[in-house]
Structure 1
Amino acid sequence: MKTLFSAVLVAVTILVAPEASATNYTLWVHGRNGGNTQAGNYNDFSYWGPSSTAAGVNKKAVNWNGTQRVGGENYRLRDALDCFCTGANWCYLVGHSAGNLQIGYALSLHGGSTRYKKNASPNASGVCGNLDGTTQVGWNIKWVDIASGAGGGSELADHGDWAMSEPLVSDLVTTTSRAMYNHNTTRSLWFYMFAGAKGTAYSGILPGQDDEAVSYHSTGGVSGSSGGSYCNPGDLFCGGTLNTGTAACSDGRAKWSYHSVSLRDTGEAYNHYANGNWAGIIGPVRSDVVTYAK
């Protein structure tokens, strides 16, 4: 009987296909740039800094033409999500500036769609082949970290301070960014917001605290159809205080659903820019990812 049982067990083992091993990835989605990153090359970290720098488990750079409109370039992110965040694989997402719009747009408008499970082996265009022909709904994502997010737009776009010949700038107008998709629809994924406050005199048209490019109303994930003036505690020249966590601002304005402020730059230490070395507000986000994206 033991011999018969062993033979049956061997036969069953042969017939059952082994499960694909699960791998975690960290996807970095950049913001506005000169369109000089290599789209489809997941190893090009030139927007951020040296590629040798630790930045989460199996880090991948999701490159897109950062001068073009979000909707036209969003397929680049969806290709990456299909590649690395389907089947048995899971992802951590990190966005900077307009990368916040790219992530929010993909999740809100496409996060409930049917996706083919992919093999995590991209071709030169950044597209992966089907794993086994089966599908799933949406992507496997653990959480999202956002460095100085432009999900709420920037008044620099409102006032034409950026090159208006760039199609992306029209998306960054505050009312446009906020109406682009339902920011409350995150597929129940948490967006952890890191808000910088090292502004300069020339960023005076930005309301409240800012990091030279985006104000707290956007970087803090504050809801509404337009921006507002929000600052650090004790600032008497603002409309309200940006509170940390999920708490509403001091004037009662709520954050979007599943948005939480992880860092409010009370020391005014972080500006908007990576400066080719993971600098500015990207620094504390990278540290957070190194700690938690395993």
Structure 2
Amino acid sequence: MQKRTLLLALTTALTLAFAGSISAQTYTVFIHGKSGSNHNGVGTTDVNNYWGSSHNSVSGSKIFIGYDGTSDPRTYGSSRAQTNITTGLTNYCKNGKSCKIVCHSAGCYAIEYWLSNLGGTASSKGFSITKVTALAAASGGSELASALNGITFGFGGNAMDKSLIVGTARGAFNHNNTGGVGIYHVPGYKGMIGASLILPGEDDYAVAYHSSCGYNKAGGLDKCQASLTQSEGIWPFNSNVTYTQYSGHYRAPSLSATGLYLNHSEIKNEGWR
């Protein structure tokens, strides 16, 4: 009888421990950016292969949140970013489960918008989100989208393109409100002739450092750090201008202020940071 009682107690303890390990599961959640494809889905499949093999730089359990890559990342509905982010993070970042988020380009725009509009901190809403690794964040917009809108008199581009107009992106939400979650930026400076003539400062051929580093205003910057003051304008009319990162935004600690010599696509491999 004593052996049976002891065996039952041991079995119960092991069952509870196993259940606890499941409930404490940690996930890496990937959120993609602008694309010509529909990546709609929430789960372990990277629908239409946005990330390719780049997600292999991250170990452990992975979840992919996808949506129509031509749509405005601020919108809700079928195949829309905000709806699928809500579904994905509710399923995988609550009730004893925690997650780290890896976003790329406009995917960072999408998750930052979501966090800003939570109505409180993520933890107060029951979410356990350790951090956001923001790869080439487009949450500050892109001058390429602004140029496209300008030369076509507002008729060119899809909903995603229009959302990425610099003034639109910067005015879309309170960038200082991250829901209490740290946004860790990973910028690249491997530009491209043509695009780099339009993008100010360092760029990865799609977004400039003012966006990919989370600065509080647009400008031509070549460093990613908490604060930067530089002289702008033609002498003798030049003046010092100071740029600071939005509250809750930081350079990823594994980087120097220079950033990485990677382009907009290559930087998708840096989700491990």
If the length of structure 2 is used for normalisation, what is the TM-score?
0.77
Counterpart AA for 1:286: G
Listed as ranges, the matches of 1:91-102 within 5 Å are 91-102=99-110
Q: Quick one: which of 166, 169, 186 aligns to 1:177?
A: 169
Q: 1:264 to 1:176 in 2, by over 3 A?
A: farther
Name the structure 1 match of 2:248.
258
Structure 1 counterpart of 2:142: 154
* Within-5 A mapping of 1:226-265: 227-231=218-222, 242-244=223-225, 246-250=226-230, 251-262=241-252, 263=255
Aligned mates of 2:42, 2:267 — CA distance in 1:
25
* Deviation at residue 51 of structure 1 after TM alignment: 8.0
Scaled by the length of structure 1, the TM-score of the pair is 0.72
- After superposition, the C-alpha distances for 1:59-107 in whole angstroms (9 at most, x for unaligned) are 1111111101122221111110001001100010011000111110110
Which residue matches 1:83? 91
Percent of paired sites with the same residue: 31
Structure 1 residues 87 and 220: CA distance shift in structure 2, 3 A? same
Corresponding residue pairs, total: 237
Q: 1:65 aligns with which of 68, 77, 81?
A: 68
Structure 1 or 2: larger helix share? Answer: 2
Relative to 1, partners in 2 of residues 1:41 and 1:164: Cα closer, same or farther, differing over 3 Å? Answer: farther
1:39/1:249 Cα in 2 relative to 1: closer, same or farther (>3 Å)? Answer: farther
Query: Which sections of structure 2, spanning at least 5 residues, go unmatched?
Result: 231-240
| Partner secondary structure for residue 64 of structure 1 | strand
Write the letter of the residue equivalent to 2:206.
A
Q: Secondary structure at the match of 2:39?
A: coil
Shift of residue 113 of structure 1?
8.4
CA contact (8 A) 1:195 1:265 kept: no
Letter in 1 for 2:52: G
User: Partners of 1:37 and 1:220 in 2: how far apart?
Assistant: 26
Change (3 A) 1:184 1:56: farther
CA distance in 2, matches of 1:150, 1:31: 8
Aligned to 2:58: 55
Contact 1:112 1:138 in 2 (8 A): no
| Residue matched to 1:210 | 203
RMSD: 2.9
Q: Distance in 2 between matches of 1:258 and 1:114?
A: 13
Equivalent in the alignment of 2:215: 222
Report if the CA contact (8 A) 1:146-1:191 is conserved: yes
Structure 1, gaps ≥5 residues long? 1-5, 116-135, 232-241, 274-279, 289-294
C-alpha change, 1:28 and 1:62, in structure 2 (3 Å) is: same
In the other structure, the counterpart of 2:28 is: 26
Change (3 A) 1:210 1:83: same
**1:168-195: CA deviations, max 9, x gaps?**
1111000110111111101221111011
